[in-house]
């Protein structure tokens, strides 16, 4: 499988522009939902999801806009969800932290750090029992690797040789705490290998390398060769939660962000495309976003009577 | 001399922590983000600078392990205060809290107490949703060996936290995000408040209104309105939920014959059920009682404001139900009580 740069760029650009649109809308208070933006981190989901088929599934976290969009989650339904509307992807019940789109293979996300790692392993077990060659991707942050469930899920997945790709989006921070203040040794890939799981690391967020690594991993999963692990170093450009920048808080410096801004993958891939092709692609994405915002604006809020629905299946 | 000033609840909590850390160097504070720029909504601000990083310690994201580690520290003679910015995160620590901390004293035949305080905050508003807005105090009330406190005022927050730190038992200290900004008189010196001391916040003979946590100010607003339609409520704040001051509550119910409990939580198997049962058991055979409860709808908490508004109990729903208990029917023209300002104006931080 060769990487289709156009497709990767489309994903990157879509995530970037949706997040920027949310930043623009946020001051109007129409999005009454805490938002954990993926600005700066687009390359991970865009690269990994370019290796997936529609029937594959992803499990993400409260920082889930990127994986939702990269896997093909419905944009109108996402925007409506942020606006709290009945047409939202979870009918206004989950908000930004709990985007889900079963038809696109985007599984419900959790705001409890680490919880979906185990769910992803179990889903992979289920897929294999059901006899498909579909695969599961589990996205989580560096902080999640400190939870017991991470180690426990690795062990189970390795033991049962499950078709799950674990992707750690390592942005070096859990809220405001740097990874060096939380982990004694930052050798995640080495640690994971001791479970018998093949693991690799992309240190510079090169989206094309992420895509190639992911293709190789997914191929191995489809062939039943056991779980894989991919660590992608990345950088969050906005505050942990909310639309703003947070350089003034003092826990990290703007200088630290500079190399990431200079190697920005959205810019880089955009420049690799032929200008006319690029302009057409961007215009199409802009049109989709404008339409999604209009859809969200025009959609109704859920009726009060809807509160009691869906508590049970 | 004890000076009284007005403090917010968040400042009262910080004052209790810093005074206890000053008094006893076995006391330490730990949890995710305790020394970060947001300092647990300000409640730990300045403590790391003052007491050092061994006593004000950020932790890895490992609630299960860190709770177990706190229990070990407590067994070794320290007095940890473990802080969680959401009570929802305690679900990862249930084994250590319920199976170990709560039972250590008893199972060891009295040899091994666990002097541990777990501070846990209930979130609300701005679509924090099903996993960041739960109120799970009744789960902890269920377990012998745990004490549970949910103060509503700055004074009780300081007094109960001071008591909790000095007590030799595991204590779940429940805070509500919306109460953090409330201000009130708090002495600058030592104050302690332990179980068995429910507060009577307003006197009245028609109905006993028990509020829990953030429902206390809502009960007071409801009582204000009810008074305008001729219903006088006695408003109680149990402060400590376990052990619960059943006698203090029943003393009021014996007088009014009517009990309405407003919990900031689900009703099913909840604190409200416990309080109503306590009144019925003690008084039900001697007099007629009218009882009622209001709280969260029996659903997970939705994020959209359209559904959040019907999910939560409020001064309006409390007042309507109180009216019904007294008059036998709902108020004809409803009751014109708004959503409280702190809820309407909340925009984070989270
Ligand atoms: C079990 C649990 N503990 C604590 C939190 C509070 N919290 C929310 S996000 C976060 C940081 C997670 O960091 P990381 O896994 O690196 O993900 P990132 O936010 O950097 O994408 C924390 C501590 C939580 N949501 N769940
Ligand atoms: Mg991180």
A205: left (phi over 0), alpha (psi -120 to 50) or beta: left
CB of B61 within 6 A of ligand 1: the answer is: yes
Report how far apart, in Å, the C-alpha atoms of A236 and of each of A260, B173, B294 are.
Answer: 9, 34, 43
Question: What CATH number is given to the structural domain containing A20?
Answer: 3.40.50.970
SS3 A104: helix
Q: Tokens for A7?
A: 């497709």
Q: Do domains B4-187 and B199-337 have the same CATH topology?
A: yes
CB of A113 within 6 A of ligand 1: the answer is: yes
Shortest distance between the Cα of B158 and any Cα of chain A, in A, equals 27
Q: With an 8 Å Cβ cutoff, are A311 and B304 in contact? A: no
Which parts of chain A register pLDDT below 50? none
CB contacts of B347 in chain A (<8 Å) are 29
In a 10 Å sphere around its CB, with 0-12 CB exposed, 13-18 middle and 19+ buried, how is residue B5 labelled? exposed
- pLDDT value of position B4: 76
Average pLDDT over residues B242-246: 98
Cα separation, A272 vs A223, whole angstroms: 33
Q: What is the DSSP letter of A61?
A: B
Checking if the pLDDT of B2 tops 80, the result is: no
Q: With an 8 Å Cβ cutoff, are B307 and A34 in contact? A: no
**Among A35, A176, A191, A313, which would you mutate to test the B interface (most chain B Cβ atoms within 10 Å of its Cβ)?**
A176
**How far is CA A269 from its chain centroid?**
19
Q: With an 8 Å Cβ cutoff, are A85 and B88 in contact? A: no
Query: What is the radius of gyration, based on Cα positions, of chain A?
Result: 19
- Nearest C-alpha to atom 19 of ligand 1 is from which residue? A174
- Nearest C-alpha to atom 17 of ligand 1 is from which residue? A141
CB of A174 within 6 A of ligand 1: the answer is: yes
Closest in A250, A301, A307 to B299, CB measured: A307
Report yes or no: A247 and A54 within 8 Å, Cβ to Cβ: no
- Whose CA is closest to B264, among B152, B142, B153, B100? B152
- Nearest C-alpha to atom 18 of ligand 1 is from which residue? A141
More confident residue, A8 or B333: A8
Cα separation, A73 vs A89, whole angstroms: 9
CB of A142 within 6 A of ligand 1: the answer is: yes
Q: Checking DSSP bridges between strand B207-211 and strand B183-187, what pairing results, if any?
A: unpaired
Among B132, B137, B176, B180, which one carries the catalytic annotation? B132
Closest in A34, A110, A144 to B128, CB measured: A34
- Whose CA is closest to B249, among B261, B238, B260, B233? B238
Q: With an 8 Å Cβ cutoff, are A307 and B61 in contact? A: no
Q: With an 8 Å Cβ cutoff, are A111 and B131 in contact? A: yes
Cβ pairs A/B, distance under 8 A: 130
**How many domains does chain A fold into?**
1
Handedness of CA B97, B102, B105, B109 (dihedral sign): negative
The ipTM assigned to this model is 0.96
List the single residue in A with minimal CA-CA distance to B36: A176
- pLDDT value of position B348: 87
Checking if the pLDDT of B278 tops 80, the result is: yes
List the single residue in A with minimal CA-CA distance to B312: A307
pLDDT in tens, B306-331: 999 999 999 999 999 999 999 999 99
**Among A94, A250, A308, A313, which would you mutate to test the B interface (most chain B Cβ atoms within 10 Å of its Cβ)?**
A94
pLDDT in tens, B135-154: 999 999 999 999 999 999 99
List the single residue in B with minimal CA-CA distance to A85: B304
- Nearest C-alpha to atom 12 of ligand 1 is from which residue? A174
CB contacts of B38 in chain A (<8 Å) are 176, 249
B140 contact partners, CB below 8 Å, separation of at least 6: B97, B146, B148, B172, B242
Cα separation, A305 vs A300, whole angstroms: 14
- pLDDT > 90 in chain B, percent: 97
- Whose CA is closest to A136, among A155, A150, A157? A157
Diameter of chain A measured on Cα atoms: 53
Report yes or no: B172 and B137 within 8 Å, Cβ to Cβ: yes
pTM of the model: 0.97
Q: Which neighbouring-strand residues pair with B83?
A: B31, B119
CB contacts of B36 in chain A (<8 Å) are 175-177, 251
Cα separation, B5 vs B327, whole angstroms: 41
Average pLDDT over residues B202-227: 98
Tell whether A59 is covered by a domain: yes
Cα separation, B67 vs B94, whole angstroms: 9
- pLDDT value of position A2: 86
H-helix segments, chain B: 9-23, 47-51, 63-75, 94, 102-107, 137-141, 154-166, 215-228, 246-256, 271-283, 305-311, 315-327, 341-344
SS3 A270: helix
SS3 A23: helix
Q: Checking DSSP bridges between strand A173-174 and strand B147-149, what pairing results, if any?
A: unpaired
Tell whether A306 is covered by a domain: no
Closest in B33, B127, B300 to A32, CB measured: B127
Q: With an 8 Å Cβ cutoff, are A95 and B310 in contact? A: no
Report yes or no: A112 and B131 within 8 Å, Cβ to Cβ: yes
Tell whether A199 is covered by a domain: yes
Q: What are phi and psi of B307, to 5 degrees?
A: -95, -30
Q: Which atom of ligand 1 is nearest to the CA of B131?
A: 25
- Whose CA is closest to A113, among A68, A147, A138? A147
CATH superfamily of B4-187: Thiamin diphosphate (ThDP)-binding fold, Pyr/PP domains (3.40.50.970)
Query: Dihedral of the CA atoms A68, A72, A77, A80 (nearest 10)?
Result: 50
**How far is CA B261 from its chain centroid?**
14
Q: What are phi and psi of B229, to 5 degrees?
A: -110, 20
Q: With an 8 Å Cβ cutoff, are A148 and B65 in contact? A: yes
Report the alpha-carbon angle A62-B9-B116, nearest 5.
70
Domain B199-337 of CATH type 1.10.3720.10: no
- pLDDT value of position B1: 53
Checking if the pLDDT of B244 tops 90, the result is: yes
Handedness of CA A218, A219, A224, A227 (dihedral sign): negative
Do you know the residue count of chain A?
313
**How far is CA B232 from its chain centroid?**
25
Q: Which atom of ligand 1 is nearest to the CA of A114?
A: 1
Tell whether A188 is covered by a domain: yes
CB contacts of B60 in chain A (<8 Å) are 146, 182-183
N-to-C CA span, chain A: 40
Closest in A98, A146, A181 to B129, CB measured: A98
Q: What's the order of all strands across the beta sheet hosting B117-122?
A: B56-57, B27-31, B79-84, B117-122, B171-176, B147-149, B240-242
Q: Determine the structural domain holding residue A292 and report its residue range.
A: 5-300
Tracing tokens 């709902």 back to the chain, one arrives at B330
- pLDDT value of position A15: 98
Residue boundaries of the structural domains of chain B? 4-187, 199-337
Q: Which atom of ligand 1 is nearest to the CA of A170?
A: 16
**Catalytic annotation present for B142:** no
**Catalytic annotation present for B4:** no
């Amino acid at each position: 499988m060769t990487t289709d740069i156009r497709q990767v760029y489309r994903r990157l650009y879509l995530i970037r522009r949706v997040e920027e649109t949310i930043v623009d809308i946020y001051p109007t208070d129409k999005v009454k939902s805490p938002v954990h933006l993926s600005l700066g981190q687009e390359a991970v989901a865009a690269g990994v999801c370019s290796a997936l088929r529609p029937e594959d599934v992803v499990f993400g976290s409260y920082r889930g806009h990127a994986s939702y969009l990269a896997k093909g989650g419905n944009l109108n339904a996402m925007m409506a969800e942020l606006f709290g509307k009945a047409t939202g992807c979870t009918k206004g019940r989950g908000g930004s932290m709990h985007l889900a789109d079963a038809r696109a293979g985007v599984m419900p996300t959790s705001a409890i750090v680490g919880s979906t790692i185990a769910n992803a392993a179990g889903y992979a077990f289920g897929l294999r029992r059901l006899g498909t060659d579909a695969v599961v991707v589990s996205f989580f942050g560096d902080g999640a690797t400190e939870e017991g469930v991470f180690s426990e899920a690795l062990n189970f997945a390795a033991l049962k040789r499950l078709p799950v790709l674990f992707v750690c989006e390592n942005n070096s921070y859990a809220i405001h705490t740097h990874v060096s203040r939380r982990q004694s040794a930052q050798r995640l890939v080495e640690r994971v290998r001791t479970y018998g799981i093949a693991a690799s690391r992309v240190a510079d967020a090169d989206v094309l390398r992420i895509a190639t690594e992911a293709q190789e991993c997914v191929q191995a999963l489809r062939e039943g060769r056991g779980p894989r692990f991919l660590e992608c170093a990345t950088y969050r450009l906005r505050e942990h939660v909310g639309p703003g920048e947070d350089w003034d808080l003092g826990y990290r410096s703007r200088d630290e962000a500079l190399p990431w801004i200079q190697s920005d993958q959205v810019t880089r891939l955009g420049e690799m495309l032929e200008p006319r092709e690029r302009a057409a692609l961007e215009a199409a994405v802009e049109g989709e976003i404008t339409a999604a915002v209009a859809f969200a604006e025009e959609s109704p809020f859920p009726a009060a009577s809807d509160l009691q629905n869906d508590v049970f299946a | 001399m004890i000076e009284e000033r007005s403090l917010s609840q968040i400042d009262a909590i910080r004052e209790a922590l810093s005074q206890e850390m000053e008094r006893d160097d076995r006391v330490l504070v730990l949890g995710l983000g305790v020394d970060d720029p947001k300092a647990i909504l300000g409640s730990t601000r300045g403590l790391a600078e003052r007491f050092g990083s061994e006593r004000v310690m950020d932790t890895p994201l490992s609630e299960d392990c860190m709770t177990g580690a706190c229990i070990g520290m407590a067994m070794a003679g320290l007095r940890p205060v473990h802080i969680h910015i959401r009570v929802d995160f305690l679900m990862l620590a249930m084994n250590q809290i319920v199976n170990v901390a709560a039972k250590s004293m008893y199972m060891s035949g009295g040899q091994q107490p666990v002097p541990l305080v777990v501070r846990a905050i209930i979130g609300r508003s701005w679509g924090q949703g099903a996993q960041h807005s739960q109120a799970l105090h009744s789960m902890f009330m269920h377990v012998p060996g745990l004490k549970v406190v949910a103060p509503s005022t700055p004074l009780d927050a300081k007094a109960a936290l001071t008591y909790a730190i000095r007590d030799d038992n595991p204590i779940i200290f429940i805070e509500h995000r919306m109460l953090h900004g409330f201000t009130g008189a708090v002495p600058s010196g030592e104050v302690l408040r332990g179980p068995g001391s429910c507060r009577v916040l307003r006197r009245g003979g028609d109905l006993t209104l028990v509020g829990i946590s953030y429902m206390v100010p809502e009960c007071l607003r409801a009582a204000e309105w009810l008074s305008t339609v001729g219903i006088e409520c006695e408003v109680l704040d149990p402060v400590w939920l376990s052990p619960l001051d059943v006698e203090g509550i029943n003393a009021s119910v014996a007088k009014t014959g009517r009990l309405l409990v407003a919990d900031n939580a689900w009703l099913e198997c909840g604190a409200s059920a416990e309080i109503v049962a306590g009144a019925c058991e003690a008084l039900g055979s001697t007099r007629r009682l009218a009882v009622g409860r209001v709280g969260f709808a029996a659903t997970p908490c939705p994020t959209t404001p359209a559904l959040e508004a019907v999910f939560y109990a409020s001064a309006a729903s409390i007042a309507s139900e109180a009216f019904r208990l007294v008059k036998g029917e709902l108020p004809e023209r409803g009751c014109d009580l708004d959503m409280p300002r702190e809820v309407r104006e909340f925009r984070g931080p989270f």
